[in-house]
Amino acid sequence: MENRKEKKAHLKRGLWKPEEDLILKNYVETYGEGNWATVSKRSGLMRGGKSCRLRWKNYLRPNIKRGGMSKEEEDLIIRMHKLLGNRWSLIAGRLPGRTDNEVKNYWNTHLNKKTLLGKKRKTIDSNAQHDDNIEDHGSKKPRQSPDSKTTEGFDLDENKEANGHDNGGVRDCAGVWMEHVVRCLDYEYKFDYETVETPLMMHHNYSNLVFDEEPFTSYMDPFVLFEAFGTTDSDVGIQSFLP
């Protein structure tokens, strides 16, 4: 029996050819998404499941938007990144037709430079401190345990069907929060970096929380907020933001 290393060695790598795309597209149309591990066997593609999944997700999927980002998209990415850091899948989830890979690439090639250029150098000023903390925010962090996929009164799978995003249960819950954050941003809601008052907090009388150590963005992280507000009291939960 061939081991995994040998199996991997047989797999094709590198850029996809149009005929491979066609095979994969036909495969997904026939069998549906998922079961990526069986793709190579069933379709004859000499590609790994991961590779097929990525190709489908980033390129072949219907409604993929290609080409340059609009001013609005760019603006949204910048603002979302300020709030979330390198949570590309979350950011991409708010940009219809855009993939996390695309958003990430766009950030690294266009926006990162732009924001670095526009950014004041580090000073003892608290806002400058905040900006520098954001840079650290990109480091890998453990993901929220999906144990909390279903919270009180909030069926996350249902939400997934409703919003058409398949980001996983918890991520959708975070998405509800993000929706809220984005709405606030759209109305040019002003955050005070030291005395943070968000609609969520106002809603739950958590107003005027003072953060003096952790970067602002950490507290704005939907996972942190979900953990803090979303699971304990049926009256105090992210579900209260659902329409």
Partner DNA sequence: AAGTGGTCCAACCGCATTAGT
Partner DNA sequence: GACTAATGCGGTTGGACCACT
Biggest alpha carbon distance in the chain?
63
Binder to DNA among 79, 104, 203, 204 (CB under 7 A)? 104
The answer to whether residue 1 forms part of the interface with DNA (CB under 7 A) is no
Question: Shortest gap between Cβ of 143 and DNA (angstroms)?
Answer: 4
Residue number, 231 or 240, with CB nearest to DNA: 231
The answer to whether residue 110 forms part of the interface with DNA (CB under 7 A) is yes
Contact 90, 167 (CB under 8 A): yes
Q: What value does the CA radius of gyration of the chain take, rounded to a whole number of Å? A: 21
**Residue in 75, 71, 106, 70 with CA at minimum distance from that of residue 88:** 106
**Residue in 243, 211, 213, 206 with CA at minimum distance from that of residue 228:** 206
Binding mask 145-174 for DNA (x = CB under 7 A): xxx-x----------------xxx--x---
Contact 13, 51 (CB under 8 A): yes
Length reported for the chain: 243
The answer to whether residue 54 forms part of the interface with DNA (CB under 7 A) is yes
Q: Please, which residues bridge with residue 220 across strands?
A: none
Q: Segment contacting DNA (CB under 7 A): 88-96, 187-195, 205-213, 226-234?
A: 88-96
Question: Shortest gap between Cβ of 81 and DNA (angstroms)?
Answer: 10
Residues numbered 183-212 forming contacts with DNA, rule: CB under 7 A: none
Residue 92, sorted as left (phi over 0), alpha (psi -120 to 50) or beta, turns out to be alpha
* Interface with DNA (CB under 7 A): 4, 12-16, 34-38, 47, 49-51, 53-55, 58-59, 86-90, 100-102, 104-106, 108-110, 138-140, 142-143, 145-147, 149, 166-168, 171
